[in-house]
Chains A and B, each alone.
Chain A
C-alpha cells in the first residue's frame, strides 16, 4: 500500500518534471553548439584540476557567445552545479557565503531563479587553473575599447606566449593606437623574437628590449650570455652577444638607481609611521615632561574607533576612514584628559610614580578593550583607493597605502605646528611649559592648559591609531608593540622638540631600511638600537637639544 503510494508520488514528480522541461523548451531552443557547450561544461563537475585545464581550453575554442561570462564566473569562484540534476549554473557576483544563490543560466545568461546554497556544489579552481583562466580571458580583453583593460590583457597573455597568443598579439599590434599598449606589445613580441633563428631578428629585438626595465627582460637577456654545459655560448652570434651585454648593463644600471629610490621611499614611509606615533608623545613627554606609558593604548583606542566607525557605516569604507580621523581624535583626547584629571595631575614632578601609574592605566585599558571586543583581531578594511600600487615604471612602484601615510603624517605634523604656533591655545601651552609661574601670573589657567595639552597629545595618538589600523592588526596589544619605538624617536630627536621627532623618526626609518637587506630585520633593529644608545651617550639631549630658554617650547 505504502510502496505503491510512493511509486505514484514518484510518477507524479516525473510527470511534473516532464511538463516543466517541456515548458522551458519553447523559451529557448538549443542549437547543436549549445548542446556541445553544455556537455563540455558538464565535464567540469567531476574533473581533476589537470582535466579542468583542458576543458577550459576546449570551451574557449568553442567560440560560444556566453563563454566569456561563464569563464569569468569560473575564475571568480561563482560556478556551481545543482546536486539534484547536475545542472550547471553560475551566480551573480558578491554572493559569497550567502545562504540563497541567485542563479544565472550559463547558456542564455538570464536569471534562472534562486536556490538554497545547500543544494549546490561549487566547481573548484586552484591557482594554476586561475592562471589559465586569466590568460584565456585576456584574449577577450585584447579588443576592449578601454586601453587599461587592453594593457592588462597583454600583460596576462605575456605569461603564456604560445603560438595562439603570439598570433593574437601580432594582430593587435598592427591596429593598436594607444602608446602604452603599443610599447607593451612591442616588448612582448621582441621577447618572442629573441628566440628567432635569424641573428638580425634577434639583434633588432635587443635594440627594442634595451629600453625596457623589466626583470623578465633582463633575465632573458642574461640567459643569452650564459654558456652551455659544453662550454659554447648559448647565443652563437658574437654581435648579438655584445648587444645583449650592453643592454644588460644599461638595464641593470637603471634598475639599481630606481631600487635605491624605492629603498629611500620605504625608509621614509617607515619613518613617517614612527613620526606619527611619536609626535603625540613629543607633546605629552616632550612639552609636559609626563612619561605616559599608556600612550600606545591611546593609539589602540584610535584604531578601535576606526573599526567601530567602519562597522557603523557599512558600505562606505572610504568615507568611514575619513570620519574616523576626528572620531579617533576625540575618543583618545577625552580618554587622555580623563587620565590627566584623575591620575597624572596628582603626580606632576614625580616621574617614577607617573610611569608606574600610567603603566597600570595601560593594562586597564587593554583589558577593558579585551572584555568589550574580545582578544581576537578586528579587521579594518582598506578602502579601494588605498590598496594597490602606483607603478611609476617597471622598476619602481610605490604602494598607495604607504604613500597616503607619508602625506598624512606631513599634514598632521603641519597642523600641529599651526596649532602650537598660531593659536591662543598653542600660545598658552608654550607659555606654561616655559615658565609655569609666570604664565599663571599672566592669568593663564595652568591646570586647564595641562589638561588640554595632554588631550592634544592623546588625540594625536588616536589619529596615529587610525593610520596603524590600515597597516597592522587591530587588537588589544596594538599599543604595546609601538610604545618603545615612540619613546626612542622622542629621545633621539631631542625632548621637547617637534622637529626633532620628525627628523629623528625619518632618519631611523631610512637607516633601518638601508640596513635591512644586508643584515635581516632582526639585526637591523639591534643595530639601530645600539647606534641610538651610543648616540645618546655622546649627546644625551638628542639631535636637537634645547639650547636656550626660548627653544624649550618650539
Chain B
C-alpha cells in the first residue's frame, strides 16, 4: 500500500527538479549572454531554447533510469552516459538555434559550446546521482518491509508451535496416575481430574494473547505443581516466594511453567532423594525477576554456556518478544541449579 505514495512523491520530485533546472538555466544563460554583450533578441531565444532542451533531457534521464541502480564497478558508465546526454543536448540546442537566427549573429555560439557542454554535463550528472540515490533508498525501503513481513510471519508461526508443545508425556502420565487412584482413592482421583482439566483449560485459554499477569500465571503453575506432586508423591516439594505487589506485573503467558517443568525434570531425574523446587519472584524498577532453584548433580552435566536442554525454546521466545537474548540466564551454586528469568515491564 505504500508504493503509490512513494511513486507520487518521486514524480513530484522529478517535476520540481526539472522545472527548477529550467528556470535557473534560463537565468544563467541569459545573464551570461547579457554579460558578454550579446543582443537581447538573440539571448532570449538562446536561453529559452537551451533551458527547454536541458529540461527535456532531464525528463528523459529520469524516465529511462526509473529503477536503475549501478553496481559499484559501474559508476563510470554513469559518467559516460552523462557525457553522451550532454553532447546530445548541445547538438540539439545548436541545431534549433541555427534554424532561428541569422548566421552573422552566431559567432559567439561556436565559441561557447565547450562551456555549455561542461555545464550540461554537470547538471545531468547531478540529476542522475539524485535519481540513483532515490532508487537505492526505495530499494532499501522495500527490502526492509519484506524482511519485517517475513520475520513477523516466522515469529507468529514459531510462537504458535512453541505454545502447541503440550507435553503429551505429562498428560498421559497424569492420566495413568488418575486411573491408578480411581480404585483405592476415588476422592483423590476426582480431585486430580479437576486439577488436570483446570490446567488444560488454562493452557488453551491463553492461545490468543501474549501477555498475562503474574497472578494468573502463578495459579496456573500451582495447578501444574499439584498434579506433579500427585505423580511423584513425597519426592517433590515446592516453595513459592513472592510479594503481593507484583501479582499484577506483566509476564508472557506459558513461560514460567515450562521453566519450572524443566527444573522438575532436571531435579527429579538426577537426584533420587526428595527434591525441593524453590521459586522466588521480585519486582525491582520495572524488571520482574524470577529465580527457580532445583538440585542437580554438578559433575554429571556439562556447564554449557547459556542454557541447558529445554531452555533454548524459552530463550527464543523471549528474544522474539523483547528482542533481547539476556533475559534467561542460569547459574549454579554447589549442587543447586538456578534459572533466572527477567521480564522487563513495558
> Is the A/B pair a real complex?
no
Chain B residues near A (Cβ < 8 Å):
none
Residues of A whose CB lies within 8 Å of any CB of B are none
